[in-house]
Structure 1
Amino acid sequence: MSHDDFSDGWLISRYVAPDGHLFMTVLFLLAFLGGRAVYGQFRRRVRKLDVVVIGAGPVGLTATFIAMRSPRVGQITVYEESPREYVINSPYQITFDSTSFSFLETIGVDFNNMEGCHDLGLFYTKVGVYLQYILDQIQCTGHRCKVLFGAKFDKELRKNLERGNGRTLVIVCDGKKGQSASLLGLDEFTDQVSCHTFGAMAGIERPHLREVPTQEIRAHNLNFDLSAYGPYSQDQNGTSGFSLKIFGNSKYRYMCLAIRRCDSPTLKALRTILDRSMMRNIFLKCFNTYKLKTEPCLSESFVLNHMKYSPRLFEVRYTQRCETVAYFDDCDMFVVVEGEAALSCNFHTGMDINQGIRGLHSLDQFITRVTWAESEKSISSALAYKMQHSTKLFTSLSRDGMQEFMFS
């Protein structure tokens, strides 16, 4: 080989080699990025989220049931301050509307295997019956879920969560008097709106009767003659009257009266005059007039000794906690507030469970977003998603809730 040939070959290899290195570099970079993407997807698929639920009421155990069905969730722990017997033996009746009924059926609740009754698209059952059903389902699935009764969530448990490894979602469902959300660092401030409605409530207990689920009774455009209590004449015909609802099981019966804000003389009198006998007699006559045919009438002596009631009308309001979802970066923990701990009404209609169940409609999607969120943007997006749903629910209920639960 001549010197010229050698020189030409060296020159050729010298100029070709950089292209070869560039090609190998690009190939290696693509392989690295591709492997990283595959690893990221694999990590997202296998990543598990630990869930802690505070409160084993209807909303808390329903949230547990939803989390249990999610493939993104690993260990679930439920803390309930009250003993199991107290929770399961709750005498109160709950009413699921058609929206809640359909949603619960979608997530696997079988109402055909639950004691209760259907009427006009509503399902009535005892709180304890529903809770026992959910607890049985949790036990049957074999999921890693612990329900701890008689265990109050306190500062020590909060510290244990903060020291834990991995991401945690805490779902607070301890009711409007619960302190867990504040203990976890969420603001206590609330927003309150008027429903432009006034109402009063009453309740009686008949110890000699069994707790049989009973459909509700509604009556509308009722007017009352208050002339016997002073110079209060009966409202003229055509004036918007009161709506009455009788609900609860056969042993524990409840009544509520509500009326839209108006210039009714009766409304003004019942708002301003504190005469306990006047409101007591209104509830007595309403119950005896509209009760079920199979129910015995209430006597004046029974009502005098056994009825608890609002002595006059009060303004009906919805209240929402301003901060219902948060993320704490130092311990990688999400907190979301559900049920009456997040949104409550100062007026009992027998259908209060539905506003809590509607808050859970977004929980499954929120769990997925929380599990996969890695960047600051994706975490903020998950928080915004849940907050928007909570705000929308509050706006809808404050605008239409009384119409749907009481006036329709």
Structure 2
Amino acid sequence: MQLRNNDTTFERIANTCDSDEIARILRVQSTHFTTYFVITVSLIAIFYKTKHIVCTIRRNYAKLTIIVVGAGPIGLTSALISLHCNRVRKLVVYEEQSRLNIERQSYQIAVQSSQVSMLRSYGVDFDNLEGLWHDGCFYTRVGIYLEFVLHVLPLFKTDVEINFGTKFTKDTRYIVDNMSGRKLVICCDGSTGIASKILGLSDETVTYSTGIFAAAAAIDRRNQTSVPIPEKRVHNLSFDLSAYGTSAYECNERTKFTLKLYGNSQCRHMALAVNRCDTSVVRTLKSVLDKSMMRNIFLKCYNTYKRSKETSISDSYCLNNMKFSPRLYEIKLSQKLETAAYITDCDLFIITEGEAARSYNFNTGLDINMGLKGLASLPQFIQSIVIADTEHSIVKSLVSKIEHSEGLSREFLTFGLKQHLFT
């Protein structure tokens, strides 16, 4: 009906107007349509341009609050790296011990050359740190390193709050949940820490065998000062156990032990390791719980392969001042199954780093390096989550971080102990 009426109207106009008038009317209508079209397109373009500008500004200026649990080497290094990302509104650190105890820690850390390069890029001034260079590695007392980082953190323009003597508890989590804006909690409280569990991550782990048997020993010499000493490795060792009432003695390629001496002058450590095999010597050292046997092995190893400037130790001193594994045991790596998560209700990301993510039941003196490697993906993770505004982008960031963590475990199982012990 409407079309018919329109046709009738057009016929009436056609009968009463000449062709010039019809053309004028059509031109006016066409001009109006073009004007309306241009205005509509312009408004749409302005809307999307404005939206793009707003999103760009939001992305460029978006920031988050970072909470670090644990002020050990990995925790403070993660805090330092985070501040360099320029995406941090506020940094909060929780540490159960006092600052004095943290800076007094005397055990020695050894930073590999690759990690030295990474830390230099974040402002760690190794040239002015008390320590020792040897074969590209930097050896220092852990308290020296922690004191340096604690001095540097407040120098940033970012608001930094360090809470010593404060354990991360359920009450602390309530405080974190109620902080405004997006948050990231980095759990660096070690293999026995409970921060990630309090925050809701599963504490389930998966354990892998490294295929290596080992034993460890430590000599505590409190009369010595903590002077850094480079590590020393000795390969292809064999042991004659006949003096202990056993005929276990083999000198072949299947039973070749590696000895590693490391630690500072006050506390010297030894690691004895052998690839998993079923020779009589290995079976004996795994099954015979004879403390004197293993103690004498470590005593002999130390006095034979110590550095020339070090003094030998006597049987009596060894008896009273050496702690050691009474027999060989299998080195195993434990990896946390859940190393990253996001809680929607309080806009909170959670990740684990260092031994809170993966650890193994053996000390090689280079253990800090695996934790430092985990921090290599931290800057990219921070950059991605600070602008993540969809479920897809959030999941993508978490998956990338988890894959990096799992990759470190696979790399360690393949190359880690070979690099730290056998080469």
Q: Which residue of 1 aligns with 2:244?
A: 229
Following superposition, the deviation at residue 106 of structure 1 comes to 1.9
Q: Which residue of 2 aligns with 1:49?
A: 64
Give CA deviations for 1:14-49 in whole Å, capped at 9, x if unaligned: 343233212211110011011101110111101111
Q: Which residue of 1 aligns with 2:143?
A: 128
Tell whether the 8 Å contact from 2:255 to 2:281 is kept in structure 1 after alignment: no
Give runs of aligned pairs for residues 118-267 of structure 1, distance below 5 A: 118-267=133-282
Match status 1:340 vs 2:358: no
Following superposition, the deviation at residue 157 of structure 1 comes to 1.5
Match status 1:331 vs 2:324: no
SS at match of 1:79: strand
Match status 1:28 vs 2:39: no
Tell whether the 8 Å contact from 1:155 to 1:183 is kept in structure 2 after alignment: yes
Q: Which residue of 2 aligns with 1:110?
A: 125
Please tell me the root mean square deviation across aligned C-alpha atoms, in Å: 1.4
2:408 alignment partner, one of 372, 383, 393: 393
Give CA deviations for 1:123-146 in whole Å, capped at 9, x if unaligned: 100000000011111133343111
Instruction: Give the whole-Å Cα distance in 1 for the aligned partners of 2:131 and 2:384.
Output: 36
Structure 2 unaligned blocks of 5 or more: 1-15
Tell whether the 8 Å contact from 1:216 to 1:246 is kept in structure 2 after alignment: yes
SS at match of 2:271: strand
Tell whether the 8 Å contact from 2:237 to 2:258 is kept in structure 1 after alignment: yes
Instruction: Give the whole-Å Cα distance in 2 for the aligned partners of 1:345 and 1:318.
Output: 4
Instruction: Give the whole-Å Cα distance in 2 for the aligned partners of 1:196 and 1:345.
Output: 13
Match status 1:372 vs 2:387: yes
Instruction: Give the whole-Å Cα distance in 2 for the aligned partners of 1:369 and 1:232.
Output: 62
Stretch moving more, 3-12 or 151-160: 3-12
Stretch moving more, 168-177 or 291-300: 291-300
Following superposition, the deviation at residue 305 of structure 1 comes to 1.2
**Which residue identity does 1:161 align to in structure 2?**
V
Match status 1:282 vs 2:290: no
**Which residue identity does 2:311 align to in structure 1?**
P
Following superposition, the deviation at residue 238 of structure 1 comes to 3.9
Q: Which residue of 2 aligns with 1:272?
A: 287
Q: TM-score, normalised to structure 1's length?
A: 0.97
SS at match of 1:24: helix
Instruction: Give the whole-Å Cα distance in 1 for the aligned partners of 2:249 and 2:306.
Output: 23
Aligned length: 407
Instruction: Give the whole-Å Cα distance in 2 for the aligned partners of 1:376 and 1:42.
Output: 21
Following superposition, the deviation at residue 11 of structure 1 comes to 4.5
Tell whether the 8 Å contact from 2:353 to 2:375 is kept in structure 1 after alignment: yes
Instruction: Give the whole-Å Cα distance in 1 for the aligned partners of 2:150 and 2:43.
Output: 53
Q: Which residue of 1 aligns with 2:12?
A: none
SS at match of 2:327: coil
Tell whether the 8 Å contact from 1:244 to 1:257 is kept in structure 2 after alignment: yes
Q: Which residue of 1 aligns with 2:102?
A: 87
Following superposition, the deviation at residue 167 of structure 1 comes to 0.4
Stretch moving more, 368-377 or 138-147: 138-147
SS at match of 1:393: helix
Instruction: Give the whole-Å Cα distance in 2 for the aligned partners of 1:294 and 1:256.
Output: 20
Following superposition, the deviation at residue 10 of structure 1 comes to 4.3
Instruction: Give the whole-Å Cα distance in 1 for the aligned partners of 2:319 and 2:193.
Output: 33
1:358 alignment partner, one of 355, 367, 373: 373
Structure 1 unaligned blocks of 5 or more: none
**Which residue identity does 1:88 align to in structure 2?**
E
Following superposition, the deviation at residue 381 of structure 1 comes to 1.1
Give CA deviations for 1:231-272 in whole Å, capped at 9, x if unaligned: 223213444311011111100111110000123211110001
Q: Give 4+ residue runs of structure 1 displaced > 6 Å after superposition.
A: none
**Which residue identity does 1:225 align to in structure 2?**
D
Instruction: Give the whole-Å Cα distance in 1 for the aligned partners of 2:155 and 2:64.
Output: 21
Question: Identity of aligned pairs, percent?
Answer: 42
SS at match of 2:176: helix
**Which residue identity does 1:86 align to in structure 2?**
N
Following superposition, the deviation at residue 153 of structure 1 comes to 1.1
Following superposition, the deviation at residue 361 of structure 1 comes to 0.5
Tell whether the 8 Å contact from 1:232 to 1:269 is kept in structure 2 after alignment: no
Q: TM-score, normalised to structure 2's length?
A: 0.93
